[in-house]
Amino acid sequence: MAVPKEVLRRYNELVDLLNKYDYYYYVLDRPLVSDAEYDRLKRELEEIEKNYPEIIRPDSPTQRVGGKVAEGFREAPHRIPMLSLENAMNENELRQWLRKIKDQFPDAEFCAEPKFDGTSLELVYENGILVRAITRGDGTKGEDVTANAKTIRTIPLRLRVDSPPVRIDVRGEVLISRRDFEELNERLLREGGRTFANPRNAAAGSLRQLDPSITASRPLTFIAWGVGYYEGISFEDQCQILDTLDNFGFKTSRPRKRCSDIEEVVRYYREMEEKRDSFDYEMDGIVVKVAQLSIQERLGATSHHPRWAIAGKFKPVERTTRIKDVVYQVGRTGIITPVAILEPVEVGGVVVSRVSLHNFDQVRQMDVRVGDWVYVRRAGDVIPEITTVIKERRPPDTKPIEPPDRCPVCGGPVVKEGAYLKCINMACPAKQAGQLEYMAKVLEIEGLGESTANAMVKHGLVKDPADLFALTPRDIMKLPGYAVRSATKLYEQIQRARRIPLDKFITVLSIPGVGKETARLLAEHFKTLDRFLNATESELLSIRGIGPQLAKNIVTFIRNPQNRSVIEKMLRNGVEVLPVEKEGEEVKESPFAGKRVVFTGELEKLTRSQAKKIVESLGAKVTSSVSRSTDMVVVGKNPGRKYRDAQRYGVRIVPEEEFYEMLRQAGVDIS
Ligand code: IVH
């Protein structure tokens, strides 16, 4: 059937338009059209392809998901071997390498780039069309994963230039962001599947799925860092290669820096290591390449790695170590947590010697034992955790970690609640100390940390939260390390904490399932302690955000005579509960309610933590990095990268003065 000219014209227009929209959305992070508009055009395109399958272009967005590879991947050679990199493990080794290059070639300059930690991939383009994607494999040949690579939206199916080279092999890294990695693992866990130990494995595992629709469902990205074979194009310089790849429609490694001397490279290395946690993708170092290709050629390569490039590694975020012992920690709610005591090991710049194993179900699932060798990981602000037990290295004398049948602190009875084991003895000193410490944290009582809380319980000064408010300086002086001055200081802190807003009062009760947020909902609804204590299940259920389980927990708690007597004792001991607002009073509309706020730069009138507390009290959520879902970025003096991110994502930017004005509107005057 002949294809009407008008249809063909519209078809070509649609393919080009959708590819352009994809490029702006995925590569530049700057959407040009709404999702609805995009979907409309895509449907129009699909309709044409259904009627005229003979005109389907290889770079049509519909070609991103193909069929399954039934019997595994085919082997495919690399025209030019994909070598690996030599490592410099610290600044010193990096300097030595740079010095050696400069001694041989005083004119050498460097292109310094981030080394994102993923899995490498080579993309072969012939006359601008993606024809093959090959994993690194052993360096000379890898696996043909073309169908899977096509599902990655940052991989162009056609190079975005009018006259593409006859052939160019583009190399880069397939990555998954830290956040997407965590979400993927949570999803896999919910679906009962195996999780990945780190983002690198998640990226590699997702790329090597026999069913490309699985790869398509994984949030992978491709960042180009170089080229292999090329023909019909010429280059002189590494930075120029990356700029060209930008123009071809790739995301390329950034922020990169052209450096002419050693100190400049070292500064870049330090700066990147310092900022590594602020990037979406895990970075395990930088890569420094001699910029001029003519010098690269003269330096040549060994059989393993080029002599013109080096990886400047950062401190590792993952290390192996051994579990020496296990202890059981009892928290304020009675949950017994197994904690592994490790052979101390430095992970990402911090010495780690204890790590939580979360619960005994997890211990059983991982089959982790005392004596095992394990991988410990600490990426970003994430608390260190064991990601893998190295079963191959298991010594013969390991000891299984069993759940205790009595509370390890008080010897009281324990029960299993879901995945958790709980001590149910109300008078368990571990629970008392945990609760005391928690209360001190919520009420911001300075100087009452873990050790003081433990000592207060151990010396019999505090058995329940109410006892704290009856302490005299003389009592406090009975604790080790306290003298008149320090005891008086702590006493004054406690006195200051007597006046407690209702939401905080509810928080410190430690009702199962009731944290800060729920406590606020309850306080806003009931307004006074008295009304809260007389709540019924049906009234609780009428509050948005309170479900049946929570309602039941609350009623059980407030009806329990022991709990009631502790609350009464708190009031007798001088605690004053401040009602949230008087009834009938209008709540001021807060411009921060429900908003996601990010701060960057220094504010003149407030510290970061004051500003954070204020906007949180007005209903905002403060986050540390900017994403599309951020509602506003408050910008102070010398703003950082978050300011640029805000501009990039089109997030509302609020200058400092305007921020104070918004606070005034919400009833908070800073002057
Ligand atoms: S260049 C011949 N540049 O690191 C030069 N590699 O440990 C080859 N990588 O296999 C590599 N970011 O998968 C280069 N900006 C970057 C990179 C980078 C990450 C990976 C790549 C390579 C591995 C070597």
Q: Are 500 and 577 in contact (CB under 8 A)?
A: yes
**185 and 251 fall within a common domain:** yes
pLDDT at 604 exceeding the cut of 90:
no
Q: What are the distances in angstroms from CA 651 to CA 327, 615, 623, 628, 634?
A: 47, 18, 14, 7, 10
- Whose alpha carbon is nearest atom 10 of ligand 1? 84
CA of 226 to the centre of ligand 1 (A): 8
Instruction: CATH number of the domain at 389, please.
Output: 2.40.50.140
The residue contributing the CA closest to ligand 1 atom 7 is 85
Residue 584 pLDDT exceeds 50 = no
- Residue in the structure block whose two tokens are 């991989």: 155
Start-to-end C-alpha separation, the chain: 77
Residue 459 sits in the same domain as residue 514: yes
CB 522 within 8 A of CB 514: yes
CB neighbours of 82 closer than 8 A, spacing ≥ 6? 120, 122, 136, 139, 142, 171, 228
Q: Is there a single domain that holds both residue 20 and residue 100?
A: no
Determine whether the shortest distance from the Cβ of 306 to ligand 1 is under 6 A: yes
Distance 459 CA to ligand 1 centre (A): 59
**Ligand 1 mean position, distance from CA 171 (Å):** 9
Residue 608, pLDDT score: 84
- Co-location of 570 and 484 in the same domain: yes
Contact 321, 385 (CB under 8 A): no
State in Å: Cα 387 to ligand 1 middle. 25
Residue 507 near residue 519, CB atoms below 8 Å = yes
Q: In whole angstroms, how large is the CA radius of gyration of the chain? A: 30
Q: Does residue 583 form part of some domain? A: no
Q: Using one digit for the tens of pLDDT, what is the confidence trace for 46-96?
A: 999 999 999 999 999 999 986 676 578 999 999 999 999 999 999 999 999
Return the CATH number at 495.
1.10.150.20
Residue 480, judged by CB atoms within 10 A of its CB (0-12, 13-18, 19+), counts as: exposed
CB of residue 173 inside a 6 A radius of ligand 1? yes
Q: Which atom of ligand 1 is nearest to the CA of 301?
A: 2
CB distance 83 to ligand 1 below 6 Å: yes
Interatomic CA distance for residues 647 and 257, integer angstroms: 22
Q: Whose CA is nearest to atom 2 of ligand 1?
A: 83
Residue 609 near ligand 1, beta carbon < 6 Å: no
Q: Which residue has the tokens 């590569």?
A: 27
pLDDT above 70 covers a percentage of the chain that reads 97
**Cα(569)–Cα(470) distance, integer angstroms:** 10
Reduced to 3 states (helix: H, G, I; strand: E, B; else coil), residue 369 is: strand
227 lines ligand 1 (CB under 6 A): no
What distance in angstroms lies between residue 233's CA and the mean position of ligand 1's atoms?
A: 22
**Ligand 1 geometric centre to CA of 209 (Å):** 23
Could you tell me if residue 127 is inside a domain? yes
Angle, CA 149 vertex, CA 143 and CA 153 arms, to 5°: 165
Residue 109 lies in a domain: yes
Q: Is the pLDDT of residue 198 over 70?
A: yes
Report the nearest-CA residue for atom 23 of ligand 1.
Answer: 84
User: Which of the listed residues 313, 346, 372 is the one where a domain comes to its end?
Assistant: 313
Residue 311 CB less than 6 A away from ligand 1: yes
Nearest CA to ligand 1 atom 3: 225
Number of structural domains found in the chain? 5
Q: Which atom of ligand 1 is closest in space to residue 115's alpha carbon?
A: 12
SS3 sequence of 458-522: HCCCCCCHHHHHHCCHHHHCCCCCCCHHHHHHHHHHHHHCCEEEHHHHHHHCCCCCCCHHHHHHH
Task: Report which DSSP code applies to 24.
Answer: I
Segment 160-165 mean pLDDT = 96
Structural domain ending residue among the three candidates 313, 328, 353: 313
Candidates 272, 281, 352, 373; CA nearest to 314 is 272
Which of 5, 68, 115, 489 does the annotation list as catalytic? Answer: 115
pLDDT in the model for residue 70: 59
User: Within a 10 A sphere around the Cβ of 298, how many other Cβ atoms?
Assistant: 14
Are the C-beta atoms of 442 and 508 separated by less than 8 Å? Answer: yes
Residue whose CB lies within 8 A of the most ligand 1 atoms, among 86, 121, 173, for a mutation test: 173
Q: Are 198 and 282 in contact (CB under 8 A)?
A: yes
Predicted confidence at residue 281, as pLDDT, reads: 94
Pocket flag, ligand 1, residue 225 (CB < 6 Å): yes
Average pLDDT over residues 14-36: 91
226 lines ligand 1 (CB under 6 A): yes
Q: What is the pLDDT of residues 325-372, one digit of tens each?
A: 999 999 998 999 999 999 999 887 788 999 999 899 989 988 999 999
Question: Is the Cα dihedral 82, 83, 89, 94 positive or negative?
Answer: negative
Mean of the per-residue pLDDT values of the chain = 91
Known catalytic residue at 637? no
Its pTM stands at 0.67
Establish if 69 belongs to a structural domain: no
170, β-bridge pairs? 123, 227
What is the mean predicted confidence (pLDDT) over 596-600?
Answer: 92
Atom index in ligand 1 nearest the CA of residue 114 equals: 15
- Residue 77 is assigned to a structural domain of this protein: no
Average pLDDT value for residue range 625-632 = 85
Verify whether ligand 1 is closer than 6 Å to residue 128 (CB atom). Answer: no
Residues 325 and 302 grouped into a single domain: no
Q: What pairing do the DSSP bridges indicate for beta strands 652-655 and 632-635?
A: parallel
CATH (domain of 263): 3.30.470.30
- What is the pLDDT, as a whole number, of residue 626? 85
Residues 308 and 455 in one domain: no
Q: Name the band, by pLDDT with cuts 50, 70 and 90, for residue 582.
A: very low
pLDDT at 532 (0 to 100): 95
pLDDT for the residue 589: 63
Ligand 1 centre distance from Cα of residue 125 (Å): 20
506 and 640 share one domain: no
**Closest residue (by CA) to atom 22 of ligand 1?**
84
Ligand 1 center to 83 CA (angstroms) = 9
Same domain, 97 and 152: yes
Does residue 84's CB lie within 6 angstroms of at least one atom of ligand 1? yes
Domain presence at residue 236: yes
Residue that terminates a domain, selected from 578, 612, 646: 578
Ligand 1 atom closest to 83 (CA): 2
The confidence score (pLDDT) of residue 380 equals 65
Which residue in 195, 513, 123 sits closest to 377, CA to CA? 195
Q: Which atom of ligand 1 is nearest to the CA of 119?
A: 13
> Is residue 72 exposed (0-12), middle (13-18) or buried (19+ Cβ within 10 Å)?
exposed
Answer whether 135 contacts ligand 1 (Cβ < 6 A): no
The per-residue pLDDT for 624 is 84
Helix or strand run (H / E) with residue 554: helix 548-559
Question: Residue 410 pLDDT > 80, yes or no?
Answer: yes
Residues 123 and 260 in one domain: yes
Cβ contacts of residue 511 below 8 Å, gap of 6+?
Answer: 553, 554, 557
253 CB near ligand 1 (under 6 Å): yes
Buried b (16+ CB within 10 A) or exposed e, 312-323: bbbbbbbbebbb
C-beta 308 within 6 A of ligand 1: no
Q: Write the CATH number for 626.
A: 3.40.50.10190
Closest ligand 1 atom to the C-alpha of 309? 5
Question: Separation of 451 CA from ligand 1 center, angstroms?
Answer: 48
**Six-digit token pair at 118?**
């993923």
Q: Does residue 71 lie within any of the structural domains?
A: no
Tell me what pLDDT residue 583 has: 43
Residue 364: give the domain boundaries. Answer: 318-400
Residues 6+ apart with CB under 8 A from 348: 315, 316, 317, 378, 379
* C-beta 309 within 6 A of ligand 1: yes
Q: Is the pLDDT of residue 223 over 60?
A: yes
> Distance from the CA of 85 to the center of ligand 1, in angstroms?
7
Amino acid at residue number 417: E
Whether residue 481 is found in the same domain as residue 382: no
CATH number at residue 55: 1.10.287.610
Is residue 345 located within the same domain as residue 292?
no
Residues 377 and 268 in one domain: no
Q: How far is the CA of 285 from the centre of ligand 1 (A)?
A: 10
Rounded CA gap, 20 and 153, in Å?
Answer: 12
Q: Answer yes or no: is the C-beta of 630 below 6 A from any ligand 1 atom.
A: no
Could you tell me if the CB of 113 is within 6 A of ligand 1? yes
Q: Is residue 364 part of a domain?
A: yes
Lowest mean pLDDT among 70-74, 323-327, 563-567, 575-579: 70-74
